[in-house]
Chain A
């Protein structure tokens, strides 16, 4: 149980284009999803918290107009990197928090999306 998927797993795009990454909780409902970014050999950096049906809460220093987050349902959140530039190249990981039950304080992570902007 508690499986989170991400799509695509890998994407290469040209500078200036937009890329959408999907995060789905497959076997549970997630009221809250989180988006992280990981640079090589570093820990995960939280970008934003996404609550179903409301606006995302962005961490300090994260541009909300550049990283658009939509959490339209209890099982799907999307991250759109708009007008991507090479410095946006990174490993993006989402996580989902179980809506109810014994493990509501645990986040389950997706497999990640490797974005390369040329």
Chain B
């Protein structure tokens, strides 16, 4: 049972345009969400996070939107740059639930290609 899903395995976007990555989750206990960027043979790099008490968080070119009722979050990157080409993972956790052990549940990833 995949609790966090990224339904688009890949995304291609022109440099300067907006990249929109989507993520859906099923576990209503999740209340903290993160986006990571990953290059091949490297560890994931933390990009941005959002708590369930918010519906938007912005950091530079990255904005994460959370729709709790739809159990959906998205990452917007604008403007997209060639260096943004990587695999992006969304992740969710339930930090307030002791039994969850602060574990992150990852989506399957979306490969983004930004064309010059």
Contact = CB atoms under 8 A, between A and B. Distances in A.
Interface of A: 2, 4, 6, 32, 34, 42-44, 46, 49, 57, 91, 93-95, 97, 103-112, 114
Interface stretch (B20-28, B70-78, B100-108): B100-108
27 contacts: A4-B43, A34-B104, A43-B108, A43-B109, A44-B44, A44-B106, A46-B103, A46-B104, A49-B102, A49-B103, A57-B101, A93-B43, A95-B104, A103-B49, A104-B95, A106-B46, A106-B49, A107-B34, A107-B46, A108-B46, A109-B36, A109-B43, A109-B46, A110-B43, A112-B41, A112-B42, A114-B41
Interface string B30-64: 00101010000111111001010000000000000
A105 B44 contact: no
B102 A109 contact: no
Contacts of A105: 32, 49, 51, 93, 95, 102
A111 B101 contact: no
Nearest to A113: B43
A6 to B, nearest CB: 7
Instruction: Specify the main secondary structure of chain B where it touches its partner.
Output: loop
B33 to A, nearest CB: 10
Instruction: Specify the main secondary structure of chain A where it touches its partner.
Output: strand
A49 B101 contact: yes
Interface in B71-111: 89, 93, 95, 101-104, 106-109
Nearest to B49: A106
B46 A6 contact: no
Nearest to A92: B43
A43 B103 CA distance: 15
A74 to B, nearest CB: 15
Nearest to A93: B43
B48 to A, nearest CB: 10
Nearest to A9: B41
B102 A43 contact: no
Contact of B42 (A44, A107, A111): A111
